[in-house]
Amino acid sequence: MATGQLFSRTTQALFYNYKQLPIQRMLDFDFLCGRETPSVAGIVNPGAEGFQKLFFGQEEIAIPVHSAIEAACTAHPTADVFINFASYRSAAASSMAALKQPTIRVVAIIAEGVPESDTKQLIAYAKANNKVVIGPATVGGIQAGAFKIGDTAGTIDNIIQCKLYRPGSVGFVSKSGGMSNELYNTIARVTDGIYEGIAIGGDVFPGSTLSDHVLRFNNIPQVKMMVVLGELGGRDEYSLVEALKQGKVNKPVVAWVSGTCATLFKSEVQFGHAGAKSGGEMESAQAKNEALRDAGAVVPTSFEAFETSIKETFEKLVEEGKTTPVKEIKPPQIPEDLNVAIKSGKVRAPTHIISTISDDRGEEPCYAGVPMSSIVEQGYGVGDVISLLWFKRSLPRYCTQFIEICVMLCADHGPCVSGAHNTIVTARAGKDLVSSLVSGLLTIGPRFGGAVDDAARYFKDAYDKNLTPYEFVESMKKKGIRVPGIGHRIKRGDNRDKRVELLQRYARTHFPSVKYMEYAVQVETYTLSKANNLVLNVDGAIGSLFLDLLAGSGLFSKQEIDEIVEIGYLNGLFVLARSIGLIGHTFDQKRLKQPLYRHPWEDVLYTK
| Whether residue 424 sits in one domain with residue 311 | no
| Whether residue 427 sits in one domain with residue 316 | no
Q: Which residues of the chain have pLDDT under 50?
A: 270, 273-276
pLDDT the model gives residue 458: 95
Domain contains 445: yes
pLDDT the model gives residue 273: 47
Is residue 349 classed exposed, middle or buried when 0-12, 13-18 and 19+ CB atoms within 10 A define those classes?
exposed
Closest to 137 (Cα-Cα) out of 47, 214, 231: 231
Final residue belonging to a domain, choices 320, 342, 367: 320
| Whether residue 443 sits in one domain with residue 309 | no
The CATH number of the domain where 78 resides is what?
Answer: 3.40.50.261
| Whether residue 434 sits in one domain with residue 310 | no
Domain contains 555: yes
Q: Which residues does residue 358 pair with via DSSP β-bridges, in sequence order?
A: 367
pLDDT the model gives residue 342: 85
| Whether residue 316 sits in one domain with residue 431 | no
Give the helix/strand (H/E) hosting 358: strand 358-359
Contact present, 187 and 201 (Cβ < 8 Å): no
Final residue belonging to a domain, choices 320, 344, 378: 320
Domain contains 97: yes
Structurally, the chain folds into a number of domains equal to 2
Contact present, 235 and 282 (Cβ < 8 Å): yes
Provide the residue range defining the domain that includes 105: 12-320
Domain contains 391: no
Domain contains 492: yes
Round to whole Å and give the CA distance between 177 and 163. 18
Is 273 in the active site?
A: yes
Contacts 24+ apart (CB under 8 A), 304-309: 306/186, 306/254, 306/256, 307/186, 307/189, 307/190, 308/190, 309/254
The string of pLDDT tens digits covering residues 479-531 is: 999 999 999 888 888 888 999 999 999 999 999 999 999 999 999 999 999 99
Domain contains 284: yes
Round to whole Å and give the CA distance between 293 and 77. 44
The string of pLDDT tens digits covering residues 77-119 is: 999 999 999 999 999 999 999 999 999 999 999 999 999 999 9
| Whether residue 259 sits in one domain with residue 129 | yes
Contact present, 235 and 280 (Cβ < 8 Å): no
Domain contains 597: no
Beta carbons within 10 angstroms of residue 573's beta carbon: 21
The CATH number of the domain where 503 resides is what?
Answer: 1.10.230.10
Domain contains 604: no
| Whether residue 232 sits in one domain with residue 98 | yes
pTM here is 0.70
The residue annotated as part of the active site, out of 213, 273, 488, 585, is 273
pLDDT the model gives residue 274: 47
| Whether residue 311 sits in one domain with residue 449 | no
pLDDT the model gives residue 262: 52
| Whether residue 298 sits in one domain with residue 419 | no
Round to whole Å and give the CA distance between 4 and 69. 27
pLDDT the model gives residue 222: 96
| Whether residue 273 sits in one domain with residue 126 | yes
pLDDT the model gives residue 276: 46
